[in-house]
Amino acid sequence: MLQPGSYRSMRDRGSELIPRHRVRLRAGPSGIHIFDRHTGLNVLLDEVTVPSASWALAPRFVSLALTNACDLSCPYCYAPKNHAVLDPERVALWLGDLDKHGCLGVGFGGGEPTLYRPLVEVCRSAVQYTNLAVTLTTHAHRLDDRMIAALSGSVHFVRISMDGMGRTYERLRGRSFALLRQRLGEVRALCPFGINYVVNAQTLPGLDDATELAAAVGAAEFLLLPEQPTRTTAGVDQATLAAFRHWVHGYRGPVPLSVSEAGSDGLPKCDPTPGETGLRAYAHVSALGVLKRSSYEPKGVTIVNDSIIEALQELRIKYQDGQE
């Protein structure tokens, strides 16, 4: 657990205790982005031309793998299996930097973030000392009443992983689908939530039922994640991918669909900020403190001197120069 005085470094950098309701402005190549983390309001003033020198330095959104620990063994999981966990004090410094340089939101994941002991304190301090929106990606089986109460007011959106329905889910994830269904009903007391769904040959047949369930439990979003190749799996096959694209084109359900950038080819997409791509839109920090362009990439730039912005600039130069 964190001791009194934790996150002092964030306060020393000038991040005072902030009002609990504050609209953010982010300048970028697409214009001025207005964002409210409490309501989820997004407004883009795309008629405004912003000089490049004034563009936000930080990505719009950054995900952090707080730990590699997980109590599941999903066969398609891309997360590293080596032991690693992020120091909460370093996380606090990074969040302060990201907030200062125009980032709008951070997503805590893993591994399984509910196995990260300082999770509640990290989320609470992020809300108190920054204007970042805080999201959490979890399998939800540890989101009991006690944890929901502890996280209340400190998380703005939860993403719950649900790959397949019924027996398919239980075969892939090794957990009770009935218990997951119960958790989906309970998480609404915490904050708005969405469902993450890995798409492969085993889970594709359950898409209709899964989106119907999402609507029934009040999910705000259904995020489609076509399975990506890992060191041990080949990823989604082409026949399944073609059938998946056909399903998306025919979808008429009430829950909005979204899709990961990896696997979005051939799908209808609405991108309101087309000028913000790559590292302007997103970056990922592994549990080893390595900044990468995505969670799927094996390599990146190690964050040194506790400056995530310096690592970001190095990562941009690295790929611009054609290295790696």
Handedness of CA 219, 270, 230, 210 (dihedral sign): positive
Measured torsion, CA atoms of residues 71, 77, 80, 81, in degrees rounded to the nearest 10: 40
Please report whether residue 1 resides in a domain: no
Please report whether residue 51 resides in a domain: no
Please report whether residue 146 resides in a domain: yes
DSSP bridge partners of 224: 197, 259
Convert the pLDDT of each residue in 139-178 to its tens digit.
Answer: 999 999 999 999 999 999 999 999 999 999 999 999 999 9
pLDDT above 80 (res 12): no
3-class DSSP assignment, residue 27: strand
Please report whether residue 298 resides in a domain: yes
Question: How long a stretch of residues is the chain?
Answer: 324
Q: Say how many domains are in the chain.
A: 1
Convert the pLDDT of each residue in 85-138 to its tens digit.
Answer: 999 999 999 999 999 999 999 999 999 999 999 999 999 999 999 999 999 999
Here the CATH number for the domain that contains residue 82 is: 3.20.20.70
Token pair 């939800």: residue: 140
Rg of the chain, C-alpha, whole Å: 19
Convert the pLDDT of each residue in 268-283 to its tens digit.
Answer: 888 888 889 899 999 9
pLDDT at 131: 96
Alpha helices in 174-206 (DSSP H): 177-186
Q: How many angstroms separate the CA atoms of 260 and 49, rounded?
A: 28
Convert the pLDDT of each residue in 240-278 to its tens digit.
Answer: 999 999 999 999 999 999 999 888 889 988 888 888 989
pLDDT above 60 (res 324): no
Token pair 């690295």: residue: 318
Please report whether residue 66 resides in a domain: yes
Convert the pLDDT of each residue in 286-305 to its tens digit.
Answer: 999 999 999 988 899 999 98
Please report whether residue 40 resides in a domain: no
What band does 213 get if pLDDT is binned at 50, 70 and 90? very high
pLDDT at 272: 86
Q: How many angstroms separate the CA atoms of 278 and 314, rounded?
A: 14
Find out whether 161 and 138 touch, Cβ atoms under 8 Å.
yes
Q: How many angstroms separate the CA atoms of 69 and 103, rounded?
A: 27
Find out whether 30 and 272 touch, Cβ atoms under 8 Å.
yes
Please report whether residue 283 resides in a domain: yes
pLDDT at 21: 53
Q: How many angstroms separate the CA atoms of 59 and 195, rounded?
A: 23
pLDDT above 90 (res 2): no
pLDDT at 230: 79
What domain range includes position 118?
8-22+57-320
Please report whether residue 32 resides in a domain: no
